Amino acid sequence: MINKTNVSKIETAGSQAVHLLSLFLICIAFWLTLSGSLKPKFIVYGVLASAATAWISYPLLLVPNKSGTKQYFVFGVPVFGFCSYCVWLLWQLILANIDVLKATTGKELAINPRVVRFYFKADNPMAYVMLANSITLTPGTVTINVTDEDLFEIHALTDGAAAGVLDGSMQKKVAELYGGKFYFAGARSEGGLLKLFFLFLLFP
């Protein structure tokens, strides 16, 4: 729980001016797309509305870390880094589709449903959001739960899907996207007990 009296003292990662400009550009692009008109008055209205929206909504788009010492802008990722991640994720989706297709269309059903678990810890809360949604977006895997102890619980449909979750590649890509060091450790459930079977620290 973050102490409300210390909210003003929380450090903001990155430049607030850059964040506001980015938010303004997103808003104006959205406005122009929906308006469907480039008449001067619509552009002026869009600029004014986008500037007001960016200014008002910016504080709502800052998320603090668990310790409450730093806050991060929701859209605070490098553009080229995000595009690179999307290309990499698209390739992973293709590979996962092929794996699920082979497992479900062969002579014998080659699925092996299970719940796999791993620990992932990063300072930026948006890294958790990106990782959980990327896993769910990938065919054969669904994020079931993320606990307060940074434990991810994932349902995997096939052996390949489970191996892909536990090899640490997606966790590393997400951490590189958001910057900073991160912690990753795989875990599995045996007889109701959580047992750690590999652990490593990765740095950018």
Q: What are phi and psi of 71, to 5 degrees?
A: -125, 150
Tell me the average pLDDT across 137-145. Answer: 94
Name every residue whose Cβ is closer than 8 Å to that of residue 61 and which is 6 or more positions away in sequence.
23, 73, 74, 75
Where do the structural domains in the chain lie, given as residue ranges? 4-73, 79-202
Question: 125-137 vs 169-178: helix axis angle to the nearest 10?
Answer: 140
79-202 is classed CATH 1.10.3470: no
pTM over 0.95: no
Average pLDDT estimate for 115-131: 92
- What number is the average pLDDT over the span 16-45? 89
pLDDT tens for each residue of 178-194 = 886 677 777 654 333 33
pLDDT tens-digit readout, 45-92: 999 999 999 999 999 889 898 888 889 988 888 889 999 999 999 999
Grade residue 7 by pLDDT with cuts at 50, 70 and 90.
Answer: very low
